[in-house]
Chains A and B, each alone.
Chain A
Amino acid sequence: MSKKSADRSRSARAQAALVAQERAERRKQMMVVGLVVAALALVVGIGFLISSMRDTTGETPEAVPNGVTDSYAVVVGDESAPTTITLFADLQCPVCKAFEDATADQVEQAVAAGKVKVEYRPISILDEASTTDYSSRALNALMVVLDTTGVDAFVDYQRLLFENQPAEGTAGLSDDELIEYAVQAGADEGEIRGPIEDKVFEQWIRNATDQASTEGVNGTPTVLIDGEPAGATPQESAQAVLEAVA
């Protein structure tokens, strides 16, 4: 064997060894990538499961308030009234308060005269606007008043809660204050304190809120007159309602 060919075979062997080494290196890297991807997928999967479990939307509520329909509505007024106003509102929503201030008296008169009925669809989407989940606490209290004291007290209490609406970003009204206003609206403190403090209608509220969302309600107030969206802005909605009840 000549010196030249011996050199060549040595270098060929060296190269083969290098290729094998690179291949092993790459295989190791692919394994690391595979492991990291698997670990990340696991993290995402677990996070997803936790999120899904924490969202109890759609679960059967332990308690449903007396006086609501299957479609999460509180109907006020004469069933046979020719016009129906549907109102989606959140007790923490300032624009809902403005809407209520602008229309409540006129609507009340029209309801009394049998001209319209109102389908209240209270929802809670603004818990993050207070430090104490005021939106859903207040709505729970409102539904407790409906449940125990009836629809007239519901209307009065809702009015009181809008009149005394806490500013966004605050702690809102305490449970005691909620109970105080409920008593003003005619409720019996002994009857309502427990269900208000225990937030008994929390799951019902969550389902009602989700139902509204699937019906295309993306914010509050949303107003329908005879099922048709009334006005593109809250001001226009208020105007449309005032015309409907005039």
Chain B
Amino acid sequence: MGLVARLVTGGVWIVAGALKLPDPAASVRAVRAYDLLPETIVPTVGHLLPVLEVVIGLCLVLGLLTRAAALLSALLFLAFIVGIASAWSRGLQIECGCFGGGGFSADATDDYPWEIARDVGLLVLSLWLVWRPRTKFAVDDLLFRRPERHLDVEEVR
């Protein structure tokens, strides 16, 4: 379960980030289309998000700092869910820009529930990993071997 959660969530992040990396200007416009953030930080967020997504994705797939990466992943999914729900409730018709693109879409209102459902699913997987960060085939296992327990000493005490 943990390994699957890591690979699925991490894989989605890597794809989502990588698709946005080639066109930073489009990423900025997609962020701006939500009309939620002040204009002064929109370009920064637009440039930072794709990079952050790829790095979080790599961390999850590799199992590197799993708990911290999963926590960031959960927070980002939460932010995206809020963003999409907010766009929906304000009657905006925009593509979520989740995998590149973004901006007006005539089908937006039909797509919102699916996008939110997908992000909720990924949020749950991320939270699972925050709760149970120890998973198979993780770099964490190599970095942080659990010190062997000396039960005999416990007994003496």
Give me the interface of A with B, judged by CB distance under 8 Å.
11, 14-15, 18, 21-22, 25, 29, 32-33, 36-37, 40, 43-44, 47-48, 51-52, 54-55, 57, 125, 127-128, 206, 209-210, 213-214, 216, 218-220, 222, 232-234
Contact = CB atoms under 8 A, between A and B. Distances in A.
Nearest to B64: A36
B69 to A, nearest CB: 9
B144 interface: yes
Residue from B64, B100, B101, B104 with most neighbouring chain A CB atoms (10 Å): B104
Interface of B: 21, 23-29, 32-33, 35, 39, 43, 47-48, 50-52, 54-55, 59, 64-65, 68, 92-94, 100-106, 143-144, 147, 150, 153, 156-157
Nearest to A45: B51
A214 B51 contact: no
A21 B148 CA distance: 11
Contacts of B68: 37
Nearest to A35: B143
Contacts of A128: 23, 26, 100-101
A51 B59 CA distance: 20
A11 B157 CA distance: 8
Contact of A218 (B27, B33, B47): B33
Contacts of A220: 104
A22 B150 CA distance: 11
B25 A22 contact: no
B65 A37 contact: yes
A14 to B, nearest CB: 6
Contacts of A29: 143-144
A85 B65 CA distance: 55
Contact of B156 (A11, A40, A218): A11
Contacts of A15: 153, 156-157
Given A15-B153, A22-B147, A44-B51, A125 B24 contact: no
Given A32-B144, A51-B47, A214-B32, A57 B25 contact: yes
The 4 residue pairs across chains A and B that have the minimum distance between CB atoms = A219-B104, A47-B51, A55-B24, A51-B47
B51 A125 contact: no
B23 A48 contact: no
A213 B21 CA distance: 19
